[in-house]
Amino acid sequence: MRRLTILVSAVVLLTTATAAQADGGPATGSSALAEKKKTEKKESPWLLVPTLSSNPKLGTSVGGMGGYMYYFDPESRVSLFGGNAQYTSTNSIIAALFAKMSFDADHQRLNALVAGGNIKNDYDDFLGTGQPLKSEDHLRAFALRYQYRVWGDWFLGVQVVDTNYQILGQSELDNELLQTLGLTGFSGGGIGILANLDSRDSEFSPRKGWLVNVNNIAYRDWIAGDNNYDAYRADIRYYWGHGSGHVLALRLNNQWTFDAPKSAYAPITLRGYKFGQYLGQYMSSFEAEERIRIAERWTATVFAGVGCLYGGSLTCSDSENIYPDVGAGIQYVIKQKEGMVLNLEYAKGKGDNEGVLLKFGYGY
């Protein structure tokens, strides 16, 4: 089961750099400038890359993303315009067009997304009921987020979401189970505000700094859709560089829903779990990842985390609602200036939850 957040979460990871520079030989005056120009290596602003994920229980997904990188001005971050698509061994398909922009000396940021897909899921144990379920989800979504730098590293902004989301069982028995659980899909439109602190020294491979994002979306039937409910998120990340290029990354991630339909409950987002398989009114998780520099362009990671679903009849004192994960990965730096990496990871959750991912960017 998928919602807009996974797509947004997936889009935010799709960015890269536009230029890298090699060191020149000894020279002086105008000859130094000429030598610099000769040795300067220009990289294409175009990006075309494959993606892959594989899970023994959930199947294999292959796809790709392409984009064009552009700098609006020297002080702004790189902007990216492009699209991505994914096809799975369950005959699911998801596609999106996106724009991620930084301009006005990085005083203004704008993200936009249009997405659609037909998602077929095959669960052995859906939401801990012990029941297998095959479902078909139809997704169409639009999202827009604008931020303005108000002081130092602080941004304030607004966001708009509109999604048409349906869940259909692939058999009559599956439909009965969905109706029993109250999962009938929803159409929703919402608006919200956000506060963002971003003191990282790099967007993609930070060695120090904080990223704190607090936001909400108020879904209302007078905007679009069938339900009135609220979703709040608080995502806090800290990066500490140590040793010879090593980094310890920590993340505390939270989502709380109020009066939401069950299809819009907060999901476990840890690596090793399928997004949307485990849902609760509230979700909190903590992750730690050590990023080890092993060569100029190579790093390795080891990570561990734990998440909890709570609210209503769910409590964190019940081990059934606790979701640990551990894993490791290896990364290759494909854009040294911006620190963009190609990341191959293995993650293991509880039970038979596990997966292998080839993707761009670190886990967070």
Here the CATH number for the domain that contains residue 44 is 2.40.160.50
Q: What is each CA distance from 44 to 19, 102, 247, in whole angstroms? A: 8, 19, 29
Provide the pLDDT for residue 67.
86
Provide the pLDDT for residue 180.
47
Strand 19-21 relative to strand 154-169: parallel, antiparallel, unpaired?
Answer: unpaired
CB-based contacts of 173, cutoff 8 Å, min separation 6 = none
The C-alpha atoms of residue 341 and residue 297 are separated, in whole angstroms, by 9
Provide the pLDDT for residue 248.
98
The C-alpha atoms of residue 72 and residue 76 are separated, in whole angstroms, by 7
The C-alpha atoms of residue 114 and residue 8 are separated, in whole angstroms, by 10
Provide the pLDDT for residue 37.
46
DSSP code of residue 78: P
DSSP code of residue 311: B
Of 230, 153, 146, 241, which Cα lies nearest the Cα of 188?
230
The domain containing residue 193 runs over which residues? 4-360
- Check if the beta carbon of residue 211 is closer than 8 Å to that of residue 200: yes
Question: How many independent structural domains does the chain possess?
Answer: 1
CB-based contacts of 19, cutoff 8 Å, min separation 6 = 42, 43, 337
Total-model pTM: 0.80
Provide the pLDDT for residue 167.
53
Of 142, 144, 145, 86, which Cα lies nearest the Cα of 114?
142
CB-based contacts of 74, cutoff 8 Å, min separation 6 = none
Q: Say how many C-beta atoms besides its own lie within 10 A of residue 290's C-beta.
A: 15
Q: Say how many C-beta atoms besides its own lie within 10 A of residue 79's C-beta.
A: 20
User: Which residues of the chain carry a pLDDT beneath 70?
Assistant: 1-41, 56-58, 121-133, 135, 165-186
